[in-house]
Structure 1
Amino acid sequence: MLNTIIVDDEEFARSSLYFLLQENCPDVHITGIAKSVAEARNLLTQNDIDLIFLDIAMPGENGFELIPQAQLNHAQVIFTTAYDQYALKAIKANALDYLLKPIDIEELITAVEKAAKLISLSKQENNRNESLQNLASSLAERTEIRKISLPNGQGYKLISVDDIIHIEADSNYSIFYLSNQETITVSKVLKEYEEILPDHQFVRIHKSSIVNLNYLKEYNSRNGTEVVLKNGEKIAVSRRRASDFAEKVRSYTNNSDK
C-alpha cells in the first residue's frame, strides 16, 4: 500500500480526487488530506508518507514550497494543477508526473502506477533528493501558461488564456469575460490570476480589473485614463497604475511589431 496525502486548497478538488483514488487505485491508502502546505508539513511529520498529490497554486505558500519536506521524507510527488504550463514537462523529465484538472481517470491510474515503481526504487536506492532538487529548479523557471482551468462549482472549465478579454474583481470572487461573450465567476481573488497570467499580455489597470492587451482598442485620458476594449467595454485605469500600464502597452506594441 502507498501511504498517500492529498494537498489542495479547493474542497471540490480534494473530495473528487479522494473519490477517484478510492474507486480506481486500490494500492493507494489515503493517510490524510491537507488544505495548505502548513497542514501537509504536519502530516509528513506525523506519518510515513510515500506519495503526495500536491496542488501548485494555493494561497500563502504554493506547492513548490513543500518539496524540501518531501525530500526529507523521501516521498514522491504527483502535481495536480489547473494550469497548463510548458515547465510541467520538467516534472516528467525528473521521472515524476502531473495531472491537469479536471483529472482524467486513465491518467490518474497511469501516474499512480509510475509513482509506485519510483517509490519501490527509491526505497531501495534512497537517492531521489537530486531529482527533486532538479524538479524544483526547473519549475522555478517555468514559462508562461497558455491554458487555465477555472473551477465553477460543479467541476472545471478549461479555456485558452487568449480567449480572456478581461477579469473583474467582485469581493473575493473573480469574473472572467471571454471572447465568446461567456462570463465565468470563480471563488478566487484577482491577485492570484495577476500572478500566474503572462504579465506581458495581461495588465492590472485597477484594483478590480485585469485586461488582456490583445483586446485593447484604445486608451485615453479625457475623463481620467480609461481603456476601450474591442468588445466595446470601457474600464478605468487607476492613477497609480497609469504609468505602468502605459509602459506595458509600449512594450507590447513594440514586440507585436517585430
Structure 2
Amino acid sequence: MIKVVIIDDEVNAQNLLEKTLNKYFPNKFNIAEKCHSVDAGVTAIKTHEPELVFLDIQMPEKNGFELFNYFEVIKFEVIFTTAYNQFAIKAIKRSALDYLLKPINNLELTEAIKRFETRNEGSFAQKKLSLLLENLNVNDQNVSKIAFATLEGFELIHSNQILYCKAESNYCSIKKIDGINKMATKTLKFVEEILPPAFIRIHKSYVLNLNFVIRYHKANKEVELTNGEKLPVSFRKEEEFINAILQNQ
C-alpha cells in the first residue's frame, strides 16, 4: 500500500479526501496521518516517511509552501490541494507538479493518482519542488525555467530559449533556439497559460516568443523569426499580434 500523509487545516476536507481515496482506490492507500498544520505535517512526514503527501496551500499559521523549508532532501511526491489562487497555480504548473482545486473532484483526483503511479522511481520530486520555490519568488517577466511534462518525465527549459510552441493534437512541440524540438505531453492551451508575457498566440496552432521576431509580412500574413522560419498569423490574431510587437519594442 502507498503510504500517505494529508495536511489540511479543515477537518471536513481531510475526511472527504480520505473517504474519496478509500472509495475509488480501495486497499491502495494507507493514510498514515492527517495533520492540521505545516508543523504537524513536518513531524508526520519525518515519522512515517510517506510516498505521497496531499498538501493544502492556504493554512492560517504557515502556508503549505513553507513545509519544504524543513527538508534538505524531498523524498516524497506532492499533490497540492487549494482553493483558487492564480499565482500559486501558475507556479505549480510551471514546475510540472499536480494540484487539485477544492472541493476535490473524484475524476481530477483519479487523473492525479494515475500520474503519480506512472512516474519513474527515484522521481524528480526534489528538482520539481526546488523549481516551484524558485517560480514563487519571481514575477512573470523574469521566469527563468519551466518544467514541461514529457513522456520520459519532464524537461527543464529556460523560457528565453524557446522560439515557439506548436500544437500537435493533444501534445505540444517546443521549438528551441538551438533547433531542438521537445514534445510536451500537454496541450498548447495549457502551455500558453504558463508561459511569460513575451509569448503570444498568433494562430490556433502557434504560440510565439516575440523576442525572436525580425519582421512581419503583412501581405502574406507571415511572421519571420531570427532562425529564418516563417509562421502564419491568423486574421483573428493579427491586430493583437501587431499591438504586442509595438509594445515589446
User: Is 1:217 aligned with 2:214?
Assistant: yes
Q: What CA RMSD, in Å, does the superposition of the two structures yield over aligned residues?
A: 4.1
Unaligned 5+ runs, structure 2: 7-12, 21-30, 36-40, 43-51, 69-77, 80-91, 96-122
Q: Deviations over 1:236-257 (max 9, x none)?
A: 111111111111100101xxxx
**C-alpha distance in structure 2 between counterparts of 1:41 and 1:171, whole Å:** 39
**AA aligned opposite 2:218:** S
Q: Does 1:163 align with 2:161?
A: yes
Instruction: Look up the match of 1:120.
Output: none
Taking structure 1 as the reference length, the TM-score comes to 0.51
In the alignment, what sits opposite 2:94? 83
Change (3 A) 1:71 1:214: same
**Structure-2 residue corresponding to 1:251:** 247
Q: Specify whether residues 40 and 252 from structure 1 end up closer, same or farther in structure 2 by C-alpha distance, changes over 3 A only.
A: farther
TM value normalised by structure 2: 0.53
Pairs within 5 Å for 1:1-258: 29-31=3-5, 42-43=16-17, 48-49=34-35, 50=41, 53=53, 67-68=57-58, 77-78=67-68, 81=92, 83=94, 102-104=124-126, 142-144=139-141, 145-199=143-197, 201-223=198-220, 225-253=221-249
* Deviations, residues 1-42 of structure 1 (Å, cap 9, x unaligned): xxxxxxxxxxxxxxxxx8xxxxxxxxxx4257xxxxxx9894
**Matching residue's letter, 1:165:** L
Q: Structure 2: which amino acid aligns with 1:104? A: Q
C-alpha displacement of 1:191: 1.4
Unaligned runs of 5+ in 1: 1-17, 19-28, 33-38, 55-62, 85-100, 112-134, 254-258
Q: Which amino acid aligns with 1:240?
A: R
CA displacement 1:55-113 (0-9 Å, x = unmatched)? xxxxxxxx9xx534x559x97755784637xxxxxxxxxxxxxxxx93338x98xx9xx
Identity of aligned residues (%): 28
1:45 to 1:71, Cα distance in 2 relative to 1, 3 A: farther
Aligned pair count? Answer: 163
